[in-house]
Amino acid sequence: MNHQTKIFSTRTQPALDSTNGGITRRRFVSRCAACMGCGALSLLDKNPNWAAEAVPKRPKIRLVFCETPNNQPIWPNIGYDFATRRKQISGLLTKHCQDLDFLAVSLMNDPKQADSVLRQEAEVDGYVVCVEGLGWNNNIAKLCTTGKPTLLVDNLFGGSGLFLQELSGIMGANKPVDWVSSSNDLDLVESVRHFAGLAKGKSSAETAAAFRATRRTRSRSRSVRGRERAVTSTRTRTTIRRTASRKITKRSYDERHPGDRRRSGVFR
Higher pLDDT, 260 or 144: 144
Query: What pLDDT shows up at residue 24?
Result: 66
Please state, in angstroms and rounded to a whole number, the distance separating the CA atoms of residues 227 and 136: 36
Q: Is the pLDDT of residue 126 over 50?
A: yes
Q: Is the pLDDT of residue 83 over 90?
A: yes
44-53, 112-121, 131-140, 199-208, range with the lowest pLDDT? 44-53
Average pLDDT along the chain: 79
| Mean pLDDT to the nearest integer, 171-189 | 97
56: Cα within 13 Å, side-chain hemisphere: 13
Quick one: what percent of the chain has pLDDT higher than 70? 61
* Residue 18, CA distances (Å) to 5, 24, 106, 171 in order: 28, 8, 73, 78
Give which of 133, 179, 125 is closest to 159, Cα–Cα. Answer: 133
Query: What pLDDT shows up at residue 251?
Result: 54
- Segments of 6-108 assigned E as strands: 60-67, 101-108
**How many helices (H) and strands (E) are present in the chain, helices listed first?**
9, 5
Domains of the chain: 60-220 (3.40.50.2300)
Does the pTM of the predicted model rise above 0.75?
no
Residues contacting 31, CB < 8 A, separation 6+: 23
